[in-house]
Amino acid sequence: MLVYLLVALGGALGSVARLWLGIQVAGLIGVRFPWGTILVNILGSFVIGFVAMFTGPGGRVPAPVEAQAFVMVGLCGRFTTFSAFSLQTLELARAGRLLDAGANVVLSITLCLGAVVFGHWLATLFGRA
C-alpha cells in the first residue's frame, strides 16, 4: 500500500513541477514552439536514466522498490509529458506548420533518448556498489 501512496505523492509533485517549469519557459521564450514540453521530457528522461542505473540492481546506492517507484513512476511519470507532446505536434501539423511538427518529433525523441542514455552513463561513473 505504501508504494501506491508514494507514487501518488511523486505524481503530484511531478505535475506541479511540470506546470511551474512550463510557465517559466513560456515566460522566457514564448509559446510559439513547445520548448517547455521538450525541456521537461529531456529532464525527466535524464532523471529516470540516472535513477534506474544508480539505484537498480548492482547500482551504487541500491534503493527499495518504493523509492524507485516514487521517482521513476510517480515523479517522472507525471513530470514528463508524452501526451502533451503528441497533442502539440498534432496542433502544429493541423496549423500547417509541418516543419515545426517534424522538428518537435525529432528534437523530442533524439534529445530525450540522449538524456536517458546520458543519465544512465553518468550513474555508471559513480561506480557499482
Per DSSP, the three-state class of 30 is coil
- Evaluate if pTM is beyond 0.75: yes
The DSSP line for 40-97 is HHHHHHHHHHHHHHHHSTT-SS---HHHHIIIIIIIHHHHS-HHHHHHHHHHHHHTT-
Q: Which pLDDT score is estimated for 103?
A: 98
Confidence of residue 127 (pLDDT cuts 50, 70, 90): confident
- Is the pLDDT at 128 greater than 70? The verdict is no
Q: How far apart are CA 43 and CA 37, in angstroms?
A: 10
Q: Assess contact for 43 and 78: CB atoms under 8 A.
A: no
Domain span at 121 = 2-125
Cell triple for 100: 515545426
Q: How far apart are CA 111 and CA 95, in angstroms?
A: 24
Residue type for position 54? F
With 0-12 CB in 10 A as exposed, 13-18 as middle and 19+ as buried, what is 17? middle
Residues 3-43: tens digit of each pLDDT:
999 999 999 999 999 999 999 999 999 999 999 999 999 99
Give the HSE-up count for residue 15: Cα atoms under 13 Å, Cβ half-sphere.
7
Overall number of domains in the chain: 1
Helix (H) or strand (E) holding 101, with range, is: helix 98-125
Cell triple for 20: 511551474
